[in-house]
Copies of this chain bind each other. A is one copy, B any other.
């Protein structure tokens, strides 16, 4: 007990904040434009004939509950570091050109975009595999947490989503 010196709500920035000027990763509250992202992936890029995108959106029927909104929390610094690692792993495993990963944070509503992964490659299989790999690893490695706001019989409640073992199983298939 004596070793626990202070206990407080977080107010300051984490002491260790990895700086990522990496243009491949963006953690943001704002919405994004699929068209703009693909335009950037393709701009002055005449060697990559294949572009694969994944977009994840807030559904209205997660686990049968009537979800009205989601709040996305993340661990600043670690999020960027873990995504950078995942992207580097993908680049080692497949011949890919450009990559972009966007993940939104904060309050999101039904139909809102949550996550975008875009990958270009000379070869379509590499673009497909790398994109799916990045999503699978993001799901189990990147420190994001979703809290659902649910309306059930006129009553509003909140709860943190449970992680799915199916996500862990799917990520394990790559290794």
A59, B46: Cβ atoms closer than 8 Å = yes
Interface size on A, residues (CB 8 A): 32
Task: Decide yes or no whether A5 CB sits under 8 A from chain B.
Answer: no
A125, B170: Cβ atoms closer than 8 Å = yes
Residues of B near A59 (CB, < 8 A) are 46-49, 122
* Mask: chain A, 37-65; 1 = CB below 8 Å from B; 0 = not: 01000100011111111111111110000
Task: Decide yes or no whether A111 CB sits under 8 A from chain B.
Answer: yes
Give residues in A with beta carbon < 8 Å to B. 33-35, 38, 42, 46-61, 110-111, 122, 124-125, 127-128, 131-132, 135, 170
Further contacts, 4 of them, CB under 8 A, given A46-B59, A51-B54: A51-B53, A52-B52, A124-B132, A124-B135
